[in-house]
Chain A
Amino acid sequence: MATAIGVMTHAEEDTGLWSWLTTVDHKRIGAVYTVAGFIFFMIGGLEAVAVRTQLAVPNGTVLDADRYNQFFTMHALTMIFLAIMPMGAGFFNYFIPLQIGARDVAFPRLNALSLWIFLGGGLLLNSSFFLGGAPNGGWFGYAPLSSIEYAKTSGMTFYVVGLLTLGLSTLIASLNFAVTIINMRAPGMSMMRLPVFIWMVLVVAFLLILSLPVLTVGLLQLYFDRVWGTSFFSPATGGDPILWQHIFWIFGHPEVYVLILPSMGIVSEVLPVMSKKPLFGYSAIVFAGAAIGVLGFGVWAHHMFTTGLGPVPQVVFSASTMAIGIPTGIKIFNWLGTMYGGNIRFVTATYFSVAFIALFTIGGISGVMHASPPIDGHHQDSYFVVAHLHYVLFGGAIMGIFAGLFYWFPKMSGRMLDETLGKIGFWIMFVGMNLTFFPMHFLGLAGMPRRIYTYDADLGWDTWNMVATIGSYTIATSVLIFVINVIKTMRKDKDAGDDPWGGATLEWATSSPPPAHDFDVIPEVRDRDPLWYDRDHGIARAAVPEHNHIHMPPPSYFPLIVALGALLIAVGSMTHLSVLGLGAVIAIYGVWGWALEPTD
């Protein structure tokens, strides 16, 4: 299928601002996602450091109660929706086409649209700090903490509108990724030859496609409650606050797998390459991922064991929650089996991957502990849960993302990150992470509730709180070291070559960074580890034809226009109908121009 070698036009190498604003190249979009996600990661990190500073000593005075609520809420929202998911989306964008052997995603302009809506939504959410106060009712937005009676500032309205905007961006991106993986694979790339990373992205896309609409409904209902005076969630007039919890967690639990699965995929790419042997139990890991996706929809009420569900639902959800630990455990054995007997190269990416396995296992075990309702009665709303979620999110998701950054940075930039700085940074982060979050297990068991802005001395919580705060500064140091590493690396000459790690998957079969059209010739896939197969069987890369004119989609400014319209609609829903109307007109104009724009 040497199709794309048709006629003429070649995307010119163009680097001006306008070329970035109108780009439809999945690699550029992926790079912007990654960089923006990392910037939000640092903002969210500063918020966390502020929170920890307040909690360092009893009766702290750094943040007052109101500001504290804003900071811990925005910390979670930023980390989940503006840092981990976008950095994941950055990798998805960059590497889906490269790993499945395509020249771009299925809908390049939609891809740009999701990027711009994401950036707009992120700015919108953060602008709330300067416009009367940020969201302060927790990332889970429980009623009545989110209802107008108790959350009088516009903060929780920003929450509703911000998450709706980000949800739109995520839905569009997920549809795009799902179609790309289903429909744009290189010849020979059957589903059971897909890289595990791509499998995990596919599961993530479907988790989002099926869970975001539920959150959307909940947010719309909350919007109606707050703005138009309905009472979906206020019991005084017949509403039901528990309904919100159901709706939120039907989204919320799949969402935690959205956060972890990409990192599981990354680790499944890094470990085989660094151990120089194929992934142990490919089909097991794929089916475990799919099983997690399916089961993930049947466990949401484990967040609600203390709401009085009644014995039968408690037993059912307890059992399903424990069951989801099984596929998770399978994966851990797959990674260990991959390394076992391998000739392991301990580069920084390996360090982060191994740390991922260890730390994620700790978080998984505490998860199974509060899968038991009586035990959860003790854990719920205590720092024990905070310890659990940070072992899976920081120890899991973030460690995996750093593994991916070190592994793929050479492909994205053509340069190797500094290994020495990388390893120093890794150890500081590893120590800092455990210093911060391990004591939270003790604090939780000693009865310290989460989401409190201060506490009295003599409760036995002082020491571990101080340790945790020291840990948070340690983590901040390690992030700084990574930033220095990136800056230092970007200043040197390109030294990576096409395939610095001896990789097995297709992204290593093109130059670093890849050309706009990704592959000179679309590769033919003969095995699960295509590059290793070709190497072992002495199959040379297909020769590049003499007249290799590859047609790439032209840049377009319509995504920017539609995103602007969507953003104005969001702003208008918080301010004035005329803004909303203007946004609608701009969006419709953008869609119309988009539909008529020639793409070839």
Chain B
Amino acid sequence: MAAAAHETQPATQHATTTGIDNRKVMMWIFLASECLFFGALISTYLIFKGDSLVGPYPKEILNIPVTSTSTFVLLMSSLTMVLAVYGAQHGRLGMMKVMLLATILLGLGFLGFQAYEFTEFVHEGLGLTTNQFGTSFFVLTGFHGTHVAVGVLYLLSLLVASNRRTGLGRDRALHIDIAGLYWHFVDVVWIVIFTIIYLIPN
């Protein structure tokens, strides 16, 4: 550390052992934990595959074109997230804010698709308790959707905070970077879920 005698040095944020900010290390470890969370949910889905005693069964009800579209929307949100991080790191605040907004909107778009899909399924007779497919499907995709919703709130709060007079402060790039890690993770998990539920034939 520079021998800056008059710079305030918070006790907990001085140079770290690894050189990586504590908050970023924590996000990485947290995501490791999340892997196991989704791992357990996905395993449950796979274990109950083919165990439904009554219909509707997956192949009768899954609408692959619609969900492929929503998957594309979510994938695009990762692109805009990358651009937001780029903007934050290179001091291009306008770009950062626009791209944050775009990511939020794309995330909301994905959630809209999911809401549409859920209501469709319920109309066609598949509820949470109808059969093992319904149970494991709604719980798995529901918790994924919750993660997207939390991500939207997270990005929204960063966007709001970045419009204050003081902006995001000197850790701006770090804040956006960490949020990006979370967002990409949720996105990657969806690719796995999408493949397992929609693409692998029963």
Instruction: Write the nearest CB–CB distance from B6 to chain A, whole angstroms.
Output: 6
Within 8 A of B (CB), among A3-36: 3-8
Could you give, for residues 238-256 of chain A, a 1 whenever the CB lies within 8 Å of some chain B CB and a 0 otherwise? 1110010001001000000
Interface residue ranges of B1-26 to A (CB < 8 Å): 1, 4-18, 20, 22, 25-26
In which size bucket is the chain B interface?
Answer: 35 or more
Asked if B8 and A551 make an inter-chain contact with CB atoms under 8 angstroms apart, the answer reads yes
B residues near A, CB below 8 A? 1, 4-18, 20, 22, 25-26, 29-30, 32-34, 36-37, 39-41, 44, 47-48, 51-53, 128-129, 131-132, 135, 139, 143, 157, 161
The answer on a CB contact under 8 Å between A218 and B40 is yes
Contact status A238-B48, CB under 8 Å: yes
In the complex, chain B residues whose CB is within 8 Å of the CB of A533:
none
Choose among A183, A553, A592 the residue that contacts B16 (Cβ–Cβ < 8 A): A183
- Set of chain A residues within 8 Å of B20, measured between Cβ atoms: 183
Tell me which of A106, A183, A599 has the highest count of chain B C-beta atoms within 10 A of its own C-beta: A183
Docked-complex contact B25 and A228, CB < 8 angstroms: no
Can you name 18 A-B pairs with beta carbons within 8 Å? A4-B11, A6-B6, A103-B12, A106-B22, A175-B29, A178-B26, A184-B12, A184-B22, A209-B30, A209-B32, A210-B32, A214-B37, A218-B40, A221-B139, A238-B131, A517-B11, A551-B8, A595-B157
A7 with B22: CB separation less than 8 A? no
Instruction: Please judge, given known A-B contacts A217-B44, A221-B139, whether A7 and B8 are in contact too, CB under 8 Å.
Output: yes
Contacts of A8 in B (CB 8 A): 8
Return the chain B residue nearest A550 by Cβ.
B11
CB < 8 Å neighbour of B9 from A4, A211, A220, A229: A4
Chain A neighbourhood of B13, CB < 8 A = 600
How many whole Å from B160's CB to the nearest CB in chain A? 9
List chain A positions with a Cβ less than 8 A from chain B: 1, 3-8, 103-108, 171, 175-176, 178-179, 182-185, 189, 209-214, 216-218, 220-221, 224, 228-232, 237-240, 243, 247, 250, 517, 550-553, 592, 595-596, 599-600
What's the nearest-Cβ distance from chain B to residue A95, in Å?
17
Least distance between B92 CB and chain A CB atoms (Å): 23
User: With A179-B26, A553-B12 in contact, do A7 and B6 touch (Cβ < 8 Å)?
Assistant: yes
What chain A residues lie within 8 Å of B51 (beta carbons)? 238, 240
Contact flag A217-B10 (CB < 8 Å), given A179-B25, A179-B29, A210-B33? no
B129: A residues at CB distance < 8 A: 228-231
Residues of B within 8 A of A189 (CB): 17
Beta-carbon nearest neighbor of A297 in chain B:
B36
Chain A CB within 10 A, most for which of B1, B8, B22, B128: B22
Report the Cα distance A7→B7, complex, angstroms.
Answer: 7
* Distance to closest chain A CB from B75 (angstroms): 25
Interface-centre pick from B8, B9, B30, B132 (highest chain A CB count, 10 A): B9
A113 to chain B, nearest CB (A): 13
A217 touches B9 (CB 8 A): no
Q: With a CB–CB cut-off of 8 A, which chain A residues contact B12?
A: 103-108, 184, 553, 599
Q: How far is the CA of A107 from the CA of B12 in the complex (A)?
A: 7
Given A213-B33, A230-B128, A596-B161, 12 more pairs with CB closer than 8 A: A3-B14, A6-B5, A7-B8, A104-B11, A176-B26, A178-B29, A183-B22, A217-B37, A230-B129, A237-B131, A239-B132, A240-B51
Report, nearest first, the 8 A-B pairs whose CB atoms are least far apart: A6-B9, A213-B37, A217-B40, A183-B16, A213-B36, A103-B11, A3-B14, A600-B10
Residues of B within 8 A of A4 (CB): 9, 11, 14
Could you say which of B7, B26, B131 contacts A107, with CB atoms under 8 Å apart?
Answer: B26
Q: A184-B16, A231-B132, A238-B52 are in contact. Are A214 and B36 (CB under 8 A)?
A: yes
Rounded to whole angstroms, the CA-CA distance of A238 and B129 in the bound complex is 11
**Neighbouring B residues of A7 by C-beta, 8 Å:** 6-9
Q: Which residues of chain B are near A238, meaning CB under 8 Å?
A: 48, 51-53, 131-132
Tell me if A213 and B40 are in contact (CB < 8 A).
Answer: yes
A221 in contact with B44 (CB, 8 Å): yes
Give the nearest-CB partner of A180 in chain B.
B22
Interface centre among A105, A212, A238 (most CB of B within 10 A): A238
Q: How far is the CA of A182 from the CA of B25 in the complex (A)?
A: 9
Give the complex CA separation of A297 and B131 in angstroms: 31
Q: Who on chain B is nearest to A250 by CB?
A: B40
Q: Is the CB of A599 within 8 A of B17?
A: no
Are A183 and B17 in contact (CB-based, < 8 A)? yes
- Chain B residues contacting A228 (CB-CB under 8 Å) are 128-129
Bound together, the chains give a CA A212 to CA B34 distance in angstroms of 10
| Contact of B135 with A106 in the complex, beta carbons under 8 Å | no
> Measured between alpha carbons, how far is A145 from B47 in the docked complex, in Å?
22
Query: CB distance A179 to B22 under 8 Å?
Result: yes
Contact partners of A106 in chain B: CB under 8 A: 12, 22, 26
Q: How far is the CA of A409 from the CA of B172 in the complex (A)?
A: 43
| Residues of A with C-beta under 8 A to B39 | 214
CA distance A218 to B143 in the complex (A): 13
| Contacting pair B11 A551 (CB below 8 A) | yes
Q: Which residue of A lies closest to B134 (CB)?
A: A230
Q: How far is the CA of A553 from the CA of B14 in the complex (A)?
A: 12
B176 to chain A, nearest CB (A): 14
Are the CB atoms of A240 and B47 closer together than 8 Å? yes
Smallest CB gap from B42: residue in A: A217
Residue of B nearest to A110 (CB): B26
Alpha-carbon distance A221/B20, docked complex (angstroms) = 37
* Residue of A182, A189, A595 ringed by the most chain B CB atoms within 10 A: A182
A231 contacts across to B, CB distance below 8 A: 129, 132, 135
- B135 & A232 in contact (Cβ 8 Å cutoff): yes
Question: Could you say which residues of chain A place their CB within 8 Å of the CB of B37?
Answer: 213-214, 216-217
Closest-by-CB residue of B relative to A211 is B36
Contacts of A176 in B (CB 8 A): 26
A216 CA to B35 CA, complexed, in Å: 13
B33 and A6 contact, CB distance less than 8 A: no
Q: Are A184 and B33 in contact (CB under 8 A)?
A: no
In the assembled complex, which residues on chain A have CB atoms less than 8 Å from the CB atom of B6?
Answer: 6-7
Q: Is A3 a contact of B132 with CB atoms below 8 Å?
A: no
Expressed in whole angstroms, the minimum distance between the Cβ of A168 and any Cβ of chain B is: 12
